[in-house]
């Protein structure tokens, strides 16, 4: 439902998070497991390598 009514143009998902927060529909939770930053090609390569080799 987060993407319902999303703009039909390039946009930042921050717009969607802000809209969800304003509507009282934003929540979160603590994840106790592994977490990887994958926001760049370089970070994705590091995450893939760590998962493949069981590092971290």
Q: CA–CA distance from 14 to each of 10, 11, 42, 54 (Å)? A: 12, 8, 23, 33
For 21-45, what is each residue's pLDDT tens digit? 999 999 999 999 999 999 999 999 9
**Computed over its alpha carbons, how large is the radius of gyration of the chain?**
16
Residue 1: band (very low, low, confident or very high) from pLDDT cuts 50, 70, 90: confident
pLDDT of residue 4 exceeding 70: yes
Sign, CA torsion 50/52/53/56: positive
pTM, rounded to two decimals: 0.54
pLDDT of residue 56 exceeding 60: no
37 vs 41: CA distance, rounded Å: 10
Residue 55: band (very low, low, confident or very high) from pLDDT cuts 50, 70, 90: low
């Amino acid at each position: 439902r987060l993407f319902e009514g999303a703009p039909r143009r390039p946009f930042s998902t921050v717009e969607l998070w802000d809209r969800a927060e304003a509507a009282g529909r934003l929540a979160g939770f603590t994840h106790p497991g592994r977490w990887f930053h994958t926001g760049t090609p370089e970070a994705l390569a590091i995450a893939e390598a760590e998962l493949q080799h069981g590092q971290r």
